[in-house]
Structure 1
Amino acid sequence: MSELPFREVPPKRSYAGKKLSDYRRYKDFLAQDFENRCGYTYCLDFWFGGKPNFQIDHFKPKSKFPDLETDYDNLVYSCSFVNRAKSDDVGSYLDPVNEDYNTHFYRDELGNIYPRTESEAARYMYIRLKLYLKRHSIIWMLDQLEQRMFILQELIEHSQNELAKSLLVEVTMRYNNYKRHLRAIQ
């Protein structure tokens, strides 16, 4: 089994404007800083119905740290599955911005997430946040497929291989039909 990086682009927190009175008003900034991906799973928000269906996690729970409720440095763009699983727990968590998740987690070739055995926090998060759920690997695989389709399309545009062009058209049509179906039910 080969180990693949957990994520390609680490999130950041770049908002430097005035402090907002309602943490929900940071959502657009968080989506941009987190590249529209869950800070904990690296899943793209598109597969959950886009930004309206993503949530804002308080890294340190607002119920226990009310003074951090609107602190941008305490907010994480998150899918609902992880945000609900984390809830008000103050266990051993790794901040997705301040920690390199690639040193704590890895993926296999099917996109399954695994904690590195030497990282106690990663092992805790793996269980508590249910990072083992199949949905995370399926979404990762769909992202990988789409990225490879774009690369293949560029390569084919510069070649004369008609079979490759035909296969790309077929795969792209099936993939796009699936995405269209998902958009229609959102």
Structure 2
Amino acid sequence: MTHLFRTIAPKRTCTKKYSDYHKYKDALSEDFNHKCGYTDCSERWFGGKRTFQIDHLKPKSKHPGLIHEYSNLVYCCAYVNRAKWHDDSPNYLDPCNVDFNTHFERDDNGFIMPKTLQGKYMVEHLQLDLYRYAIIWNLDRLSEKIDKLNEVTNRSGKLKRILFQLYEEYYKYTKYLVDK
């Protein structure tokens, strides 16, 4: 069985103009739903926004005129940004302009699987098939299930105490990751 690659697509909404592309980071985090544009993994598992980077879809080394163009920026984890680096291949898809569900899917374990040649190129060159992205996908799913469980749980009795203990351990760990 396969799963959708992402459920909410990123959208660039920032209309401000900055002469330093680093100033777009807050807007990019929001526009990319606090997730890596290429892996769809939540920033919190990498240590939060402070550890995420700004990729230039068209590399700044080869397209200096696009360095500060918001439409050329992608919010992503450091691993993917470093893997892509100066690669100027037309096979890199813009996460905001292309439906990644057309090019990628996830298997039952959360591994990113290509569906097209461009998807295959990106999986190979960005190493999107690493265990870390599958693990993070599963952690994100676990978070969603815990939140849903909270919505339907009777807030009294033994179940409430067990659920509270689960939340406490889970959020202590996520706080540790972000605050580290």
Instruction: Give the TM-score of the pair, scaled to structure 1.
Output: 0.90
Cα distance in 2 between the residues matched to 1:108 and 1:164: 32
Supply the RMSD in Å over aligned alpha carbons.
1.6
Listed one character per residue, the Cα deviations across residues 86-143 of structure 1 (whole Å, up to 9, x for unaligned) are: 0010121111011000111001222111111xx1110000010000111111111111
Cα distance in 1 between the residues matched to 2:7 and 2:77: 18
Q: CA deviation at 1:163?
A: 5.4
Q: Which residue of 2 aligns with 1:123?
A: 120
Alignment of 1:118-157 (within 5 A): 119-157=116-154
Q: CA deviation at 1:4?
A: 0.5
Q: CA deviation at 1:10?
A: 0.2
**Where in structure 1 are there 5+ consecutive unaligned residues?**
none
1:77 aligns with 2:72: no
Cα distance in 2 between the residues matched to 1:164 and 1:157: 7
Listed one character per residue, the Cα deviations across residues 66-98 of structure 1 (whole Å, up to 9, x for unaligned) are: 111111100000100000000010121111011
Cα distance in 2 between the residues matched to 1:180 and 1:16: 32
**3-state SS, counterpart of residue 27 of structure 2:** helix
- The equivalent position to 2:24 in structure 1, one of 23, 26, 35, is 26
Cα distance in 2 between the residues matched to 1:83 and 1:112: 19
Cα distance in 2 between the residues matched to 1:38 and 1:169: 29
- Identity rate of aligned residues, in percent? 46
If asked which structure has higher relative contact order (CA below 8 Å, sep 6+), I would say 2
Number of aligned residues: 179
1:9 aligns with 2:8: yes
Compared CA separation, residues 180 and 67, structure 1 to 2 (3 A): closer
Instruction: Give the TM-score of the pair, scaled to structure 2.
Output: 0.92
Q: CA deviation at 1:181?
A: 3.7
Runs of 4+ displaced beyond 6 Å? none
Contact 2:48 2:178 in 1 (8 A): no
Cα distance in 2 between the residues matched to 1:183 and 1:63: 31
Cα distance in 2 between the residues matched to 1:78 and 1:108: 22
Cα distance in 1 between the residues matched to 2:4 and 2:80: 20
**3-state SS, counterpart of residue 19 of structure 2:** coil
Cα distance in 2 between the residues matched to 1:87 and 1:171: 39
Q: CA deviation at 1:46?
A: 1.1
Alignment of 1:99-110 (within 5 A): 99-110=98-109
